[in-house]
């Protein structure tokens, strides 16, 4: 009825493997984020140099305004792309950890159920009601856990859709705003 040293060792090994997997996921994402940051910084410096060179060649104020609006759109697109990449990294890591957590919960439930079954075999007569109540409580908690998981996934999907829609609207608004001075100039 009690855990044997082999069972304890197996549980400890499984927990250690889970921690190693989380650490490896975290390190891999940190490497990806670092590479993304370096690439973004490199692009920013290159774009800044190119923009500065372009602005140094400006001869009149209208050309300056036009050039500024032309330079704003690609910068915004890069910022949006960078933010999407960071969001994807964070979401991927969260999903990986959630899968690992779900697997550990399933394993704990399996072990607990096996423990209850084994204890029920050696329990005195009439105690089957208590064991049935324990199994029922475990089933209810698993059901609640599944419902919360589904709700969290739905919220995450809605949030992702809203962030994507807001980002697209911002990009479109900036694109429209940068075209507005050119359209006014053409009308005049």
How is the chain split into domains, by residue range?
5-187
Task: Give per-residue pLDDT as tens, 54-78.
Answer: 888 888 888 888 888 788 778 888 8
**pTM above 0.75?**
no
Q: What is the pLDDT of residue 28?
A: 94
Tracing tokens 């409580």 back to the chain, one arrives at 137
| CA 80 centroid distance within chain | 16
Local structure of 58: helix, strand or coil: coil
Q: Which of 155, 37, 152, 32 lies closest to 93, judged by CA? A: 32
Q: What is the distance between the alpha carbons of residues 80 and 164, in angstroms, rounded to a whole number?
A: 10
Q: What is the distance between the alpha carbons of residues 157 and 169, in angstroms, rounded to a whole number?
A: 18
149 and 105 Cβ atoms separated by less than 8 Å: no
In the numeric block, which tokens belong to residue 137? 């409580």
Q: What is the pLDDT of residue 55?
A: 86
In the numeric block, which tokens belong to residue 188? 């005049």
Tracing tokens 């009601």 back to the chain, one arrives at 129
Q: What is the distance between the alpha carbons of residues 80 and 88, in angstroms, rounded to a whole number?
A: 12
The greatest distance separating any two alpha carbons of the chain, rounded to the nearest whole angstrom, comes to 98
> What residue ranges of the chain have pLDDT lower than 70?
1-3, 174-188
């Amino acid at each position: 009825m009690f855990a044997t040293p082999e069972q304890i060792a197996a549980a400890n090994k499984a927990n250690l493997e889970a921690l190693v997997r989380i650490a490896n996921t975290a390190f891999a994402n940190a490497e990806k984020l670092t590479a993304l940051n370096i690439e973004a910084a490199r692009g920013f410096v290159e774009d800044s140099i190119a923009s500065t060179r372009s602005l140094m060649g400006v001869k009149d104020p209208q050309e300056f305004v036009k050039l500024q609006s032309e330079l704003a759109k690609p910068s915004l697109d890069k910022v949006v792309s960078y933010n999407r990449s960071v969001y994807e990294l964070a979401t991927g890591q969260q999903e990986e950890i959630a899968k690992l957590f779900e697997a550990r919960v399933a394993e704990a439930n399996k072990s607990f159920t096996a423990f209850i079954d084994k204890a029920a075999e050696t329990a005195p007569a009439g105690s089957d009601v208590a064991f049935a109540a324990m199994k029922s409580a475990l089933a209810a908690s698993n059901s609640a856990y599944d419902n919360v998981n589904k709700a969290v996934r739905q919220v995450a999907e809605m949030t992702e859709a809203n962030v994507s829609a807001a980002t697209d609207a911002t990009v479109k608004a900036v694109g429209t705003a940068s075209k507005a001075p050119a359209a006014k100039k053409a009308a005049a």
